[in-house]
Amino acid sequence: MRHDALLFRCAYPRSPQDLRAAEAALKKIRMRDRVLDSENSGIAGTSVDVIFSWDIASWLVRRFPGTASIDWEDWSDDDRLAAVLTPLIPELRERIVEANVPYLDYAKAQTLEWYVKHLQPVTYDLLGLWVRWKFPDEFSRTRMRRKPSAIFYDRTIIARRDVSIALELAGPPLTIRKLSRDEGEAALDIARAALATRYRELYVATFGDPSTVFSAGAGRGLEIVLFGVLPEKRLPVRAGYAPFFFRNGVPVGYGDAFVLGHRIEVSFNIFPAFREGESAWIFARMLKLYRLLFGSTVFTIDPYQLGLGNDEAIRSGAFWFYRKLGFRPTDPKIERLARAEERRKRRSSAATLRKLAKSAMILEIAP
């Protein structure tokens, strides 16, 4: 897809001329207002149609007033509408004794702002409203940028085979600074929009605390912005965080992390347009940031990230991505299967990858 190829060139420009040409071509891309599928969503001029949580719907209403509305097309559950709306609308309380009350007509008469204001979050989420967000161009995948401190130009891409997590952890520390609350709010807006325009939502980003945002200059044009969680939304035992990755200001991926002592469970996702870039190196720099901030020495990966109930991870061969970086299954039977696959020296089938994904993976680093 030409749009994503141009985005890749903006994130990984070979020269100033290359970057200018890619940005100029992207500025000309603006499609007619329509909803795209999740693979091609987020292009300037289009919309997304998603069942957002109350919290994200509330953020849209507050941060982008007038851009989001409820999509009632194909709605068929009048019983749910009756249960939710009758206590809130006096005329419906009067008509409850009638047959064939047009609940959908009453529902359509209310705006998304009304639902966010009058419904409790749990009630709103159970209702399952489809929200159509006509995002501003500056929050589209096409134009979304975070201003970089400098642009990094290079004609080479660091391949996975050239990445050593041990060497990255032993290298010089990253430059880390805490953002102001206003800077944190702006970074959260980008993070939430980067997910929403791709039909995604992440707990830590949804409940991100703008007063606990850090920015790490990781080299080669990479900035890692790390979010903490609002105090009232923190987990009972583990501390939750979410990294977002920007290369030359372009959002290229995200993850989350849950810390307990020296142990940290990590997830990592590079957006499809940028998977031919320096994914392994970015992952290693992310682990280095965790080591610096939290003293982490034990890194684990949940089976979902490897493909358990996750077809995207199966298609991308996530198990082998992590194994070649030094991670190993915690289940001895899965480890034996992995070694047998390595001896065959051929691409693993989807069925085999699903078997390999049944175990968590772990990497332990000496303190």
Q: Which has the minimum average pLDDT: 13-22, 31-40, 118-127, 317-326?
A: 31-40
pLDDT band at 100 (very low <50, low <70, confident <90, very high): confident
Work out the average pLDDT over 21-35.
Answer: 86
Q: Is residue 60 part of a domain?
A: yes
As a residue count, the chain comes to: 367
C-beta separation of 132 from 49 below 8 A: yes
Residue 295 identity:
G
Per DSSP, the three-state class of 36 is coil
Q: Is residue 351 part of a domain?
A: yes
Work out the average pLDDT over 81-102.
Answer: 87
- Provide the 8-state DSSP code for 172: P
Predicted pLDDT of residue 367: 76
Which tokens go with 49?
Answer: 């149609």
Beta strands in 206-275 (DSSP E): 208-219, 222-229, 239-247, 250-260, 263-270
Q: Is residue 259 part of a domain?
A: no
Would you say residue 38 has pLDDT above 70? no
Long-range contacts of 146-150 (CB under 8 A, 24+ apart): 146/187, 146/190, 146/223, 146/225, 146/246, 146/249, 146/251, 147/249, 148/221, 148/223, 148/246, 148/248, 148/249, 149/217, 149/223, 150/221
> Residue 361 to residues 108, 124, 162, 304, 366: CA-CA distances in angstroms?
48, 37, 21, 11, 17
Work out the average pLDDT over 177-205.
Answer: 97
Domain boundary among 138, 163, 191: 138
Distant-in-sequence, close-in-space partners of 351: CB < 8 Å, separation ≥ 6: none
Would you say residue 30 has pLDDT above 90? no
What is the total count of domains within the chain?
2
Q: Is residue 51 part of a domain?
A: yes
The CA distance from 52 to 56, in Å, is: 6
The CA distance from 328 to 27, in Å, is: 44
Would you say residue 106 has pLDDT above 80? yes
Q: Is residue 88 part of a domain?
A: yes
- Provide the 8-state DSSP code for 314: H
β-pair type (131-133, 48-50) = antiparallel
Q: Which of 179, 221, 187, 181 is nearest to 204 (CA)?
A: 187
Predicted pLDDT of residue 264: 98
Over residues 245-270, the pLDDT tens digits come to: 999 999 999 999 999 999 999 999 99
> Residue 180 to residues 67, 214, 255, 339: CA-CA distances in angstroms?
27, 9, 22, 48
Over residues 63-75, the pLDDT tens digits come to: 999 999 999 998 9
Q: Which of 105, 129, 102, 103 is nearest to 115 (CA)?
A: 129
Q: Which residues pair with 47 in a beta bridge?
A: 35
Predicted pLDDT of residue 261: 95
Q: Is residue 261 part of a domain?
A: no
Domain boundary among 138, 158, 191: 138
Q: Which residues pair with 95 in a beta bridge?
A: none
Q: Tell me the residue range of the domain where 70 lies.
A: 2-138
What does 182-208 look like in DSSP terms, one character per residue?
HHHHHHHHHHHHHHHTTT---HHHHTE
> Residue 136 to residues 173, 198, 336: CA-CA distances in angstroms?
37, 14, 51
Angle of CA points 215, 47, 57, to nearest 5°: 65
Q: Is residue 147 part of a domain?
A: no
The CA distance from 359 to 340, in Å, is: 16
Would you say residue 93 has pLDDT above 90? no
Over residues 322-343, the pLDDT tens digits come to: 999 999 999 999 999 999 999 9
Would you say residue 160 has pLDDT above 90? yes
Domain boundary among 94, 112, 138: 138
Alpha helix stretches (DSSP H) within the chain: 2-11, 16-27, 54-63, 78-85, 90-95, 103-108, 112-118, 121-127, 165-170, 181-196, 203-206, 279-294, 303-306, 311-316, 318-323, 332-344, 350-356
Predicted pLDDT of residue 161: 94
Side by side, the strands of the sheet bearing 239-247 are: 175-178, 208-219, 222-229, 239-247, 250-260, 263-270, 298-301, 361-364, 328-329
Work out the average pLDDT over 290-318.
Answer: 96
Q: Is residue 108 part of a domain?
A: yes
